[in-house]
Structure 1
């Protein structure tokens, strides 16, 4: 066996490697699964017990020698190819123009939304995307096992030992930031009015299609103070729609239900794609829903330590993808996350 090992040493040392094909032949012959070195290891069991230790050490040395020869030859070939191969230079080619970058359409619309609400006194607030059940559901008047929880398919971070959903989850809306803002008032000696919007990513366990995605963006708003009424909510949203879209856009409020607002309403605007004549985006109705809204439920105020007898407020939430769709005529939500340069270049200078 030791004589055979010495022969293989000599073969490896004198093996000519001048090309990638010869390098591959070397690998297959000596260090591959069916190579010579592997075969010798298989035959080690036939060596007498008293010689097996010495022979095994020699085989390990042979294996290291073969792998080192392969590594050095591979590095040498790569360096020689990089030095020899030079790209041709054609001095007659025209100069490549300096192309301007483009902002993502979702960022453009998000900035426009922040600007519109900023001009009427709304600040910007942010909060965690990994949230507890209390801030995402409990404080917002979602009782345990309430059917309203089924409206939002949730990504839970993990599960408890008994298989029940864990307390940590990916937030399904940015309303968790509203709760944190109101809860912070507990530590103030005097209540400070809250007027803020909360832009951010949210997550729901939905199948990805042209109309839905498991990750999207929302902007929610909250205004809490004395004597805040539903008219204030309507005036605010009327102003936003007129600023974001055309002045002649039509708006309507439809009664709805949300666990955290009462009364609640959904906001529709006349379709900006077909201008009311009917298309797949508006399902041929001429109207497209852009937001949900309502007066903050007294139970939510109580959960946050705010006295509902003294203070009232309104809240609203809208999807940035939907606003962008109507603003720029995007007909497939998947385009926002596919990073197709042909799509993104359309927003240069927007």
Structure 2
């Protein structure tokens, strides 16, 4: 029987975490051969290379090195570069992940060449088309051959959009697989000790979305709110490169750096970051993945967004959507409350990658 070649596409920080469990689940299989493709969408070492080390991933088989640019530039460069790869060394299946520009770009390049494509983390919807990620999610799910969903609501979204049920497979949340894969190393990482933090007595902050960091008034409000919050809950702020640039541009860097109870740090690798999250009292973010991890861990999460493509984290998890002006009051409510951990959502059990492998093997007849 012929060996099936599968391309796993990694592009940006969240992708590496989702690809890792699937890579490790597929690698021992004798019916397939895995090729790891790094598009280079995140080209900063702290944002990409560290994740390969953290998850014991080998160096990528192919690195497209597309770098930064506008949405159109980045998407176009990935399409052109990956199309060339597919023409020269055609895979049987391409697995794209999440909702970044490389996701839709590689899906388009492969589909137009008649190559079958699977979307890992399919069906998530914020219903806010102002978000570039929402466009990427909608477009990717509309063209691929196989949709692996992380939650029941994702299945419902796809069925409501007219997707054939036989293309949808509910596999669970592979982000939880990533956490469990690295749990021992996370616990041994020692980031809290390095920063002199006591477990349960600090908060973690991440911000990067344009709606929060690109407008001077909004970012100034958030900085002021964080300074106020830090007086009751010391904060560690892992600053995304985009946010760092805006803080400097708007003259806000000094305000954060001089705040006595805020520790400003560069982007952290997954192990170091999750060591902080697992021992924190609260997380303040606008990220997608962190909403899921805090839900799994039962840690209160305040998400600075109007909506979320992961509504299960608010209906069943520990996440709450808030506006920037609500931050101080929301943190006070969390600090004053007793944290009660609920059961994780269905199939958030660390076994999603194995269900994906079984589904893919069944569909390829291997």
TM-score for the superposition, normalised by structure 2: 0.20
Say which one has the larger Rg: 1
TM-score for the superposition, normalised by structure 1: 0.21
